[in-house]
Structure 1
Amino acid sequence: MSNHWGLCKNCKWWQIDPDASVTDQTAGLCIEEDLQPFNLRITGNGGCNSYAHGEPARAEGSSAKPPEAAPQR
């Protein structure tokens, strides 16, 4: 297992709507560069090995089905 694994809710590559709370069930968009082509919508309790500790980015439409926001980082 990679030592870079972590939860989306604590990752700078997770992007949520501006008024959204950071919770396990909040849906957002993964904006990690290699994963952007997949337009991946994932909840805060998801995780992967592209984790980078930080505050989530915010943009309107990040939790839409499918996500409609452009990456903000």
Structure 2
Amino acid sequence: MSDSWGLCKGCKWWQIEPDASVTDQTAGFCIDEKLQPFQLRITGNGGCNRFAAGKPARAEGSSEKPPEAAPQR
């Protein structure tokens, strides 16, 4: 397993609604540059090897299907 693997809820590339709580079930949008074309909507307990520790970004429309928010980082 990669040292850079981690959960979305602790990743700076996870973007959620402005008023959303950071929980396992909160739906958000992965804004990692290489994954943006896929408009990946994922919950906080998802994870991958593109993890970068930090607080999630926030923008209105991040939890829509598909996400409607522009990446904020």
Category of TM-score, reference length = shorter chain: over 0.9
Counterparts of 1:33-72 in structure 2, within 5 Å, are 33-72=33-72
- Supply the RMSD in Å over aligned alpha carbons: 0.3
Give the partner amino acid of 1:31: I
Q: State TM-score, norm by structure 1.
A: 0.99
Quote how far apart the aligned CAs of 1:71 are. Answer: 0.2
Unaligned runs of 5+ in 2: none
Give the partner amino acid of 2:18: P
Q: Distance in 2 between matches of 1:38 and 1:45?
A: 19
Tell me the number of residue pairs that the alignment of Structure 1 and Structure 2 aligns: 73
User: Which structure shows the higher helix fraction?
Assistant: 1
Give a deviation string over 1:13-48, Cα, whole Å, max 9, x none: 000000000000000000000000000000000000
Q: Distance in 1 between matches of 2:3 and 2:51?
A: 9
Unaligned runs of 5+ in 1: none
Secondary structure of the corresponding residue to residue 71 of structure 2: coil
